[in-house]
Amino acid sequence: MDQDCTGERELLEAISRITTFSTTSPSDEEQNQPQAEISCQARKENPEKDELQDSNASLSPNSLMTTKELQEYWRNEKRHCRQVKLLFEIPSTRIVEHHLSKYVMYKIIILQTGSFDSNKSVIERRYSDFEKLHRKLLEEFSEEMEDVTFPKKTLTGNFTEEIINERKLAFMDYLRFLYSMKYIRRSKKFIDFLTRPELQEAYGCLRGGQYSKALEILLEVIGLQERLTRGNPVSIVPTLCAIVVCHKDLENPSSAFEYGEKALSCLRVYTSHRYYIPLLETMITLAYELGKDFLSLQEKLEEWKAKKDPVRIFTLKELAVREYVQ
């Protein structure tokens, strides 16, 4: 009970400190405008040209979509046009002691701008995790990282309250600065820092048959993944499919079907993706079990098979257990 109260106080304090914080200034907003926003502006300025391009685009799914699918497609397009801002706060730390090691874990709260509680993500990282991220980013973004200061290691005093508080503030500013730069916040290195440890744990649980534990972690991660990779929905397909696998093995077919639909919508124009056919096959099975329309899914599967040479296709579960294998 005390831990719950402490956690609630930490979150409330974190939110009160960051409600007025913005990672980019108005001038930076224009400079760092996402490609999706630029694309939306171009559509407004020259709609006729855009329509012509859409009609000629080889990947355009519009001609094959039902009215309902078209509506959902354009809703997704509009969502991609709006930049999602995330705020980073480090409200607390804890010292971890093992037999041969001792280190500080920093609790990072990631909030979406304008949200209170429903869109928060909470992760923990240690100094060495930040250090690895910094080293990797320097390799790819040396110019952008020129003015970035990183807290140096000290030979003594690493566990004093003064040093821990200094680093807590430094890491908070560090994350905010990285996120303010478009190319860095979209980089795989930055996204992996925020999501990969949890995903590795989740997939480890999945491989061990701990589907409930895996599902719990995956559901916590997917929201953050979606906000970090907006504009690149294909990147979250493996996580969505892992959630499908967990729900299916836990005998929750309706929930499995719900997440399967999300994954299929991400792959609408990427039918050559390695997850597409295994996902279709799983969705056909789920739709049949739930009494839903499986014929349209079956038609897509047959259409794909008619165009492609027969190849070895893994099942959805076989693909999922291969993710994040060291």
Q: For the chain, which residues make up each domain, given as ranges?
A: 85-186, 195-322
Calculate Rg over the CA atoms of the chain: 22
Interatomic CA distance for residues 138 and 142, integer angstroms: 5
Least confident of 4-8, 110-114, 144-148, 221-225: 4-8
Helix (H) or strand (E) holding 121: strand 121-126
Six-digit token pair at 76?
């997704």
pLDDT: is 246 or 325 the higher one?
Answer: 246
- Give residue 205's pLDDT band: very low, low, confident or very high (50, 70, 90): very high
What was the pLDDT predicted at 37? 37
Q: Which of 120, 95, 100 is nearest to 14 (CA)?
A: 120
pLDDT in tens, 88-97: 999 999 999 9
pLDDT: is 290 or 147 the higher one?
Answer: 290
- Give residue 116's pLDDT band: very low, low, confident or very high (50, 70, 90): low
Query: In this prediction, what percent of the chain has a pLDDT beyond 90?
Result: 59
What was the pLDDT predicted at 64? 54
pLDDT: is 218 or 7 the higher one?
Answer: 218
Q: How much is the average pLDDT of 147-154?
A: 85
Q: Provide the mean pLDDT of the chain.
A: 80
pLDDT in tens, 128-143: 999 999 999 999 999 9
Q: How much is the average pLDDT of 136-164?
A: 88
Distances (CA, A) of 256 to 58, 180, 245, 287: 31, 36, 7, 10
Topology of domain 195-322 in CATH is 1.25.40
Q: How much is the average pLDDT of 12-33?
A: 41
Interatomic CA distance for residues 244 and 325, integer angstroms: 19
**One-letter amino acid of 105:** M
Give the chain's end-to-end CA distance (angstroms, integer).
38
Six-digit token pair at 219?
């559901």
Q: How much is the average pLDDT of 38-53?
A: 39
Distances (CA, A) of 115 to 121, 176, 238: 12, 17, 27
Distances (CA, A) of 106 to 62, 96, 109, 167, 296: 47, 11, 10, 9, 49
- Give residue 308's pLDDT band: very low, low, confident or very high (50, 70, 90): confident
Least confident of 141-155, 169-183, 203-217, 289-303: 141-155
What is the CATH number assigned to the segment(s) 85-186? 3.30.1520.10
pLDDT of 251 > 50? The answer is yes
pLDDT: is 14 or 247 the higher one?
Answer: 247
